Amino acid sequence: MRHVFARKNLFLLIALLLMTIKTYVVYKTSFDLKTDNILQEFILLINPISFLLFIFGIGLFMKERNRNRYIIGADIVLTFVLISDMVYCRFYNDFLTFPVLFQSSNFKPDLGSSIFELFNWTDILLIVDIIVLIWLYKRNSRFKTNSRNTRKQIIIYYLIAVAVFFCTLGLAETQRYQLLTRSFDRELLVKNISIYNYHIYDGLLQSKAFTQRAKAESNNLTDVKKYIDSNYKAPNQEMKGIASGRNVIMISLESTQSFVINKKLNGQEITPFLNNLIDKSYYFDNFYHQTGQGKTSDAEFIGDNGLYPLGRGAVFFTNPNNDYEATPEILKKYGYHSYVMHANNKSFWNRDLMYQSFGYNKFFDENSYDISEENSIGWGLKDKEFVEQSVHLMKDLPQPFYTKMITLTNHFPFELNEEDKLIDEYNSNSKAVNRYFPTVRYEDESIKRLFDKLKSEGLYENSIIILYGDHYGISKDYNEALSQFLGKEITPYEQIQLQRVPFIVHIPGVTDKKPQKISEPAGQIDMRATLMNLLGINMKGQIQFGHDLFAKDRDPFTVLRDGSFITRDMIYSDGQCYDRKTGKTIDMGTCTPFREKARQELNYSDQIIYGDLLRFHERNK
C-alpha cells in the first residue's frame, strides 16, 4: 500500500523534497542561521517538512492532474514568501511579521532603489524547482491522470504530518525549553519551527494582540507601576534645570552608527563637525539604539515616551490611537509648543496620526518644504536643503519650542550625487558599505550648516540641541565588508557593539565650558528622562522605563528589543554571556538574573502598549 501511495503521489514527494532543500539553502545562505551542534542542524533541515506536508497534502483531495497543478501553485506562493522574507532579512536582520505587512503604505515608489539593492543575481535559482515541476508535469503524462487517494490514505498521510510536526517540536524543545514563549526571538523560532510555521504562529500572536486592549483593566497597570517605582532612580539634582526654559531641538541622525565617530577614511575625518561638537558637549560613547521593526519611528517612539517599541511591527502602525503621556503633551504644561520637521509624506510610518496622539502642535511635512529634482536624492530632500529650510520655519515659531528634526540623506542604499561627495567611497566588495561613508560625511556637513543657521538666526544661544543616531545603517548582511574597515572579525559580541549610535547633548554656554564624555552603557530609553531633568521637570510617578543618565546611583542596564542587554560588566546576546570589556564568553549564570529582568521589562512595556494601559493612569485624568 505504501508503494501504491508513493507512486500515485510521486509528484507531491518530489515537490516536498525540492522545497525542503530550497528552504534549507535559504536558511544557510540568506538568513545565515547558525547552529551549535548536529541536532540543531538536523532540526533546521527537517523543520519545514510538517508544514509542507500539510500544504501540499490539500491536493490529496483532488484528482491527480488538478493535484499537481495545485502543488505547482503552492510552490510558487511559498517561494514568494521565502523571497519576501529573504529580502526583508537582508537589510532588517529580521523576519516579516503581520504588523509589518499592515504597513503597506510605506511601500512607495521611492523605495524601489532600496529594494533593488537587496537582490542578488543568484536569487534566480529559487525558481529552479518550479521550472523542474512544470517541466515534469508538461512532459510526463503519468502526472495528469484522474486517479484519487482513498480516505484511509489521506488520514494516514495527515497523521504522519502531525507526527512529524510534534517530533520536530519535541526535538526543538530539548534544545530550547519553552520555545513558544520566546516570541521576541524570531530567529530562534524560525530555526526550530520553520519560517512557514513561524508566520502562522505570528498570525496567532497578532490576533491575540487585537484582543488585549478590550480585555485590559485598570488593575493591569498596577504591577507595571510597582516595577517602575521600585526601579526608580532619583535624577541628578546638580544638573536639574540647567537648560530650563530653553528651546529644545532634537535631531535624528539617520542610520548613523558610532563606529564612524572620530574615525578617518583615506586620511580624512568621516565626521569632522560631530567630532568637534563632541568636545563641546556631553557625549555618550556607549549609547545603544533599541529599535525593532519600526526603525526610525521606533526611535521617535522611545524618545518621546520612555517606553520600548514592540517586538513585532511598529507602534506607529499598530497602536496610533492609544493614550500616551508623550513629551510634547507634558511640555505643554510648561509653556512649550511642539513640532516635527521631516520632508516626507505625512502618512509615511503613519506619522500624521501618531503625532496627534503624542500632542504635537504641527507636523511640517513635505508640503512645508520647497522640494524639486535638483535638491533631492534617494528618499527625498537633501539634508543641507532640509536644515536650511527648517531653520527658516523655526525662526517664526513661538518660543520656547520643542522641535524634532528627522534627516533623510544617510538612508540605505546611501545614494549621493558626485558634487555632494566630500570624501571618497570605501573600497570593499559591498557597494552599500562603500557608499555609506560619503553619505555620513554629507550628513555631518549638513549638521554643521544647521548650527551655522541657528546662530545666524539667533536661535542657538537659547536652545539645548540633542543629536541621536536612530538605528544601525549597515546590517549584518554586510559584515564581511564592514569587518574589513574595522580591521576585526564581527563576532556576536562585536555585533552588539555595532548597535551603538551617537548621543550628543549640547547646551551653549554650558557644555562648551565643561564638556564631558560618559562611557557607562545607556540607550534611547533614557533620552526623555535625561532631557526632562535638564529642563527642570519632575518626572517622578511617570510611566517610563528610562533614567536620567546623570543620576548618581544609576545602575547601567540597557535592554535591546531582541532581549539582548548590556550592563556595566557584561553583554548578553544570541544565547551567550560576554565580559563587556574583553569580549570573552563567561559563565551563563552571571547573566541569568539580568535576562529575567530584561524579559520582564520588555513584557511590561508591551502590556502598556497592547492594552492601552496609560488610559488608566492617574496623570491622564
The single-letter DSSP state of residue 500 is B
Cis amide bond preceding 521, omega within 30: no
By C-alpha distance, which of 552, 400, 571 is closest to 500?
A: 571
Q: What is the pLDDT of residue 110?
A: 46
The residue with cell 486517479 is: 147
Catalytic residue among 296, 403, 407, 567: 296
Q: What is the pLDDT of residues 492-517, one digit of tens each?
A: 999 999 999 999 999 999 999 999 99
d(CA 337, CA 403): 8
Separation CA 595–CA 607 (nearest Å): 18
Average pLDDT, the chain: 90
Domain ranges of the chain: 2-211, 220-620
Between CA 260 and CA 515 the distance in angstroms is 20
Please state the φ and ψ torsions of residue 225, each to the nearest 5 degrees.
-65, -40
pLDDT given for residue 5 in this prediction: 79
For residues 200-212, average pLDDT? 77
Res 177: pLDDT: 61
296 is annotated as an active-site residue: yes
What pLDDT was estimated at residue 552? 92
pLDDT at 321 over 60: yes
Instruction: Quote the pLDDT of residue 620.
Output: 43
Q: What percent of the chain has pLDDT over 90?
A: 71
Tell me the DSSP string of 95-111: ---HHHHT-GGG--GGG
Query: What sign does the CA torsion over 273, 467, 359, 344 have?
Result: positive
Least confident of 139-148, 181-190, 494-503, 590-599: 181-190
pLDDT tens readout for residues 547-559: 999 999 998 999 9
Q: pLDDT tens-digit profile of 5-53?
A: 778 889 999 999 999 999 999 999 888 788 878 998 999 999 999 999 9
**Nearest of 522, 597, 532, 164 to residue 333 by alpha carbon:** 532
| 328-349 confidence digits (pLDDT tens) | 999 999 999 999 999 988 877 7
Cα-flanking dihedrals φ and ψ of residue 513, to 5°? Answer: -85, -30
Contacts of 150 (CB under 8 A, 6+ apart): none
Report the candidate in 220, 218, 227 with the shortest Cα–Cα distance to residue 544.
Answer: 227
- Secondary structure class of 209 (helix, strand, coil): helix
- Calculate mean pLDDT across residues 188-203: 87
What CATH code is assigned to 220-620? Answer: 3.40.720.10
Q: CA-CA distances (angstroms) from residue 321 to 107, 573, 610, 614?
A: 22, 34, 11, 12
Residues 368 and 338 sit within 8 Å (Cβ to Cβ): no
Q: Give every strand in the sheet of 282-284, ordered side by side.
A: 362-364, 337-341, 401-406, 247-253, 463-469, 503-506, 282-284, 516-518
pLDDT at 619: 57
Q: Using CA atoms, how far apart are residues 85 and 367, in angstroms rounded to an integer? A: 34
pTM over 0.85: no
